[in-house]
Structure 1
Amino acid sequence: MLPSDQDQQARRLLSVYDTELREAAEMTGATTVTRDGPLWRGTFGDRGFVTYRDLGGLTGPALDHLIARTVTYYATQTPVTSFEWKTRGHDAPADLPDRLVAHGLHAEEPETVMLGEAALLAVDLPLPGGVHLRRIDHQPDPLPDLMRAAAAQERAFGTPFSAADLALRVQQHRDLLEFWVAEAHGEVICTGRLEVVPGTAVAGIWGGGTVPEWRGRGIYRALVAQRARSALARGVRYLHSDSTAASRPILHRSGLLPVTTTTPFIWTRQEPRR
């Protein structure tokens, strides 16, 4: 594919992303959803989440007022301990990150939004000897396997994962979510979710991680291919993922294209000083 053709394809996919994967699509599972101008503000338990299709041309003081109202909105909800304002690299105005920081939010690491045709990823890939793939969410009692998967994710990412949180996610989104693992000798060595976006032809691939001693052997890519095949069987056309520097090259080689970046800006409730 010529660079110009790839650029054209990326622009088309960016339109799919903006149209299908923002605003209401990001509020699935929210306990409350409110609107303020262009913003969608959701609450998910003790966390808040802010998204929008665009900011409607707001700049300067008008944008500052919108940010301040949002901080006040979540600050007055005592169960909420933090909220995320999700920015995208192609959004305007360019000084939005600076304005968010000025209102007490801090930026986390940016990720690359990858998007493309699921059929490009649904290929047969070899696995190392003794490794097999298995879906674990549709069992009568998935908790034991989810506990093993959470432990593997903790090893892969170096941060704690709660099996109870995974089980709750499965329960709440049973018809939309698939949880897959790669196993070797009875041990979970790689994990990944497929999450269908309701009302769209898109699904997300999330939570992919391989434990350190099994990396570089094609297991993550094989698990992506398996989720792509499952997505196609569900009638899904596109797959997307917010990718770290580690996973982006793998997804790019598989056929997904980078269409923009995303940076979470986080507000955290400060405990009063005693």
Structure 2
Amino acid sequence: MDLAALRTLHDQQLRLGARPDGPGARVERDGPVVRQTGPAHGWNGVLWSGLTPDDADAAIAAQIGHFRAAGRGFEWKLYSHDGPADLADRLLAAGFVPDARETVMVAEAAAVSAPVDLPEGVELHPVTDEEGVRMVVEVHDRAFGGDSSPIGRRLLDQLADAPDTVAAVVALAHGEPVSAARLELPRGSDFAGLYGGGTVAPWRGKGLYRALVAHRARIAAAHGHRYVQVDAADTSRPILARLGFAELTTTTPYTYEIE
């Protein structure tokens, strides 16, 4: 893969040309910034920026003002190739708080879709209704800690209003939900997005993460998406690399809470 060309395509399709990722969300361009404003349980933030040292501070202030007026805390997704070079420092000075850096990894969907043998007693089930979404939330809560109910509400909205843009799967071990993951299928994009991929502690290291990647890659390919991409934490990056994913860039979420 030509990673430089893929990074440009990724920026064009998923950032500059982003579409709303769920019901009640809107994407708009505000000068050198592309942002999404959504419901309280949805994702709110800056998707792309093309800033210079001369306009960066004003653009940051404008986005803070916009989301404050909307009553939404928001995230500025800062990619390592975004300018200006000191944009991270400018976000910090404006009151943003950085989260852990993630590595954007990409692979051709067909190349990572080979079925993986599951442990005895484990089956994959598509998520299509409220009970399935409840199991996704349960797994995420157990695997990652915290409250994953906003993810569940968003997933329910997507399944109801735009089921062709999302897929989710739960791994059941003798009927117990032990792993779950989601797949975003943006219309008109070459890229499908892998999200979640959480496995409860007793079932880690048994191939479930790999199985969910392959399962979602097959769905992505069937929907016409050539690539699958994931914002990978340090824990999943080595696994994805072994599966054939390449590192495209890095991204760090900077969050701003509205008081």
The two structures have a TM-score, normalised by structure 2, of: 0.92
- What is the rounded CA distance, in whole Å, between the counterparts of 2:147 and 2:210 in structure 1? 24
Q: 1:193 matched to which residue of 2?
A: 182
Distance 1:145 1:27, change over 3 A: closer
* Alignment counterpart, residue 49 of structure 1, candidates 45, 49, 52: 45
Q: Please name the residue that 2:218 is paired with.
A: 229
Distance 1:232 1:45 in 2: 30
SS in 2 for 1:25: coil
2:17 is aligned with 1:24: yes
Equivalent-residue separation in structure 1 for 2:35 and 2:213 (angstroms) = 31
C-alpha distance 264-123 of structure 1, shift in aligned 2 (>3 A): same
Do the aligned residues in 2 keep the contact of 1:39 with 1:50 (CA within 8 Å)? yes
Identify the match of residue 72 of structure 1 among 21, 41, 65.
65
CA shift at 1:248, angstroms? Answer: 1.3
TM-superposed deviation, 1:38: 1.4
- Bigger shift: residues 143-152 or 159-168: 159-168
Is residue 11 from structure 1 mapped to residue 4 from structure 2 by the alignment? yes
- Of residues 210-219 and 232-241 in structure 1, the stretch that sits farther from structure 2 once superposed is 232-241
How far residue 48 of structure 1 moved from its aligned partner, in angstroms, is 2.8
Distance 1:236 1:186, change over 3 A: same
Report matched runs for 1:156-167 at 5 Å: 156-162=143-149, 163-167=152-156
1:155 aligns with 2:146: no
Shift of 1:71: 1.1
Offset from partner CA, 1:229-273 (integer Å, 9 cap, x none): 121112211000111111111111111111111111111112xxx
| Residues 86-101 of structure 1 aligned to structure 2 (within 5 Å) | 86-101=77-92
Give the match's secondary structure for 1:208: strand
1:23 is aligned with what amino acid?
Answer: L
Gaps (5+ residues) in structure 2? none
Provide, for residues 68-116 of structure 1, a one-character-per-residue CA deviation record: whole Å limited to 9, x for no partner. Answer: 1211122222xx2301111101112110011011111111111110112
Partners of 1:25 and 1:198 within 8 A in 2: no
Structure 2 residue aligned with 1:143, among 130, 134, 137?
130
The answer on 1:256 being equivalent to 2:245 is yes
Structure 1 CA distance, aligned partners of 2:192 and 2:100? 23
Equivalent position amino acid for 2:105 in 1: M
Q: Does the residue aligned with 2:215 lie in a helix, a strand or coil?
A: helix
Identity %: 39
- Give 3-state SS (helix, strand or coil) of 2:2's partner: helix
Q: Deviations for 1:203-236, whole angstroms, at most 9, x for unmatched residues?
A: 1111111010000011110111111112111221
Counterpart-to-counterpart distance in 1, 2:200 and 2:118: 15
2:200 equivalent among 211, 233, 242:
211
Structure 1 residues not aligned, in runs of 5+: 1-7
Aligned residues: 254
CA shift, 1:26, in A, is: 5.1
State whether residues 13 and 116 of structure 1, in contact with CA within 8 Å, keep that contact through their aligned partners in structure 2.
Answer: no
Give the Cα separation in 2 of the matches to 1:128 and 1:179: 20
d(CA) in 2 for partners of 1:235, 1:31: 24
CA RMSD of aligned residues (A): 1.7
